[in-house]
Amino acid sequence: MRRGPGGVKDEPKASATAAVARGGCGAYLRRMARSLPFTKMHGLGNDFVVIDAREETLDLSPEAIQRLADRRRGVGFDQLVAIAPSEIADARLLFFNADGSEAGACGNGTRCVSRLLMMEGDRDELRLETKGGLLRARRRRDGLVTVEMGVPRTDWRDIPLAVACDTLEVPLDHAGLPRPTATSMGNPHATVFGDDLAARDGERLGAELERHPIFPERANIGFAMRIGPSTIRLKVFERGAGLTPACGTGACAAMVAARRRGLVGEVASLILDGGPLEIAWDGKGPVSMTGPVAVVFEGRIAAELLEGRTP
């Protein structure tokens, strides 16, 4: 028996079927004869189901992911993270939203998995392959995990947007909101700045803006308010998940947008509903994000739930 990502010995597993691209899950598929081991984690309340697919392939359709994400009938999570083998890094990470769609990046999920892999290998630094690019992670002496989230992209083609424009103020006029700033952190973000954050209906406005025609791949929507020279209050409506307690790439995108607008310096504290993240960006290179992570529990997902045979 080998040890899973949380350090608990896994039961022998059924042999893997041939990897077949299906339902947006890439080439990493697994059919389990009985059950699927997982680790539940969170970063500031942004919660994840982590599945280790390095030794066997993973077979989860979008419908199965939706069943797992159900907080009453499944496990419940904001995103599912699959750990897959990589030829160019310590591991490859695949991210899936609660609606079954695939995400190109997930900052808090990356920090969570980084801690698992560091614990597994007794290491303090890692390189991770994601759809959004190669990321570097390190564990600080205080136990917090820092991830370099890559260089942000701000050209309208890279977000992507449906129209050519200056992404500092995207020509999106909706419900009297200020025009947002668009940023790609491997996934599309639009950050709206204002002074009345608490008065906004983030759930409704986020859902409306996420699917605005100017975002051909939909977008994560941030509602930001500067409350000090190095502090920003932030709420994020995540594409495919809704309002979450924290969003790592959303915090990075808000930092980039704030710095481009001259609102903060090179380091700022982003205060989300789940707590603070320290975000640093020098205006040119990669954005780094630092914060806490926690293992909640480990378990096994019944085959009946995976196959849709539960009521």
What residues contact 19, with CB distance under 8 A and at least 6 apart?
27, 28, 29, 57
What residues contact 281, with CB distance under 8 A and at least 6 apart?
152, 252, 255, 256, 259, 266, 287, 288
Residue with tokens 């973000």: 189
Q: Which of 106, 112, 165, 252 is catalytic?
A: 106
Q: Which of 25, 112, 165, 247 is catalytic?
A: 247
- The CA distance from 258 to 250, in Å, is 12
Closest-CA residue to 252 (of 262, 241, 263, 267): 267
User: Does residue 106 carry a catalytic annotation?
Assistant: yes
**What are the respective helix, strand and coil percentages of the chain, to the nearest 5?**
15, 35, 50
Type of residue numbered 246: A
What residues contact 239, with CB distance under 8 A and at least 6 apart?
97, 101, 103, 187, 188, 210, 218, 219, 220
On whether the CB atoms of residues 147 and 162 are closer than 8 A, the answer is no
User: Does residue 247 carry a catalytic annotation?
Assistant: yes
> What residues does 183 pair with on adjacent strands?
189
Closest-CA residue to 285 (of 255, 262, 246, 251): 255
- The CA distance from 266 to 69, in Å, is 36
Positions marked active-site = 106, 247
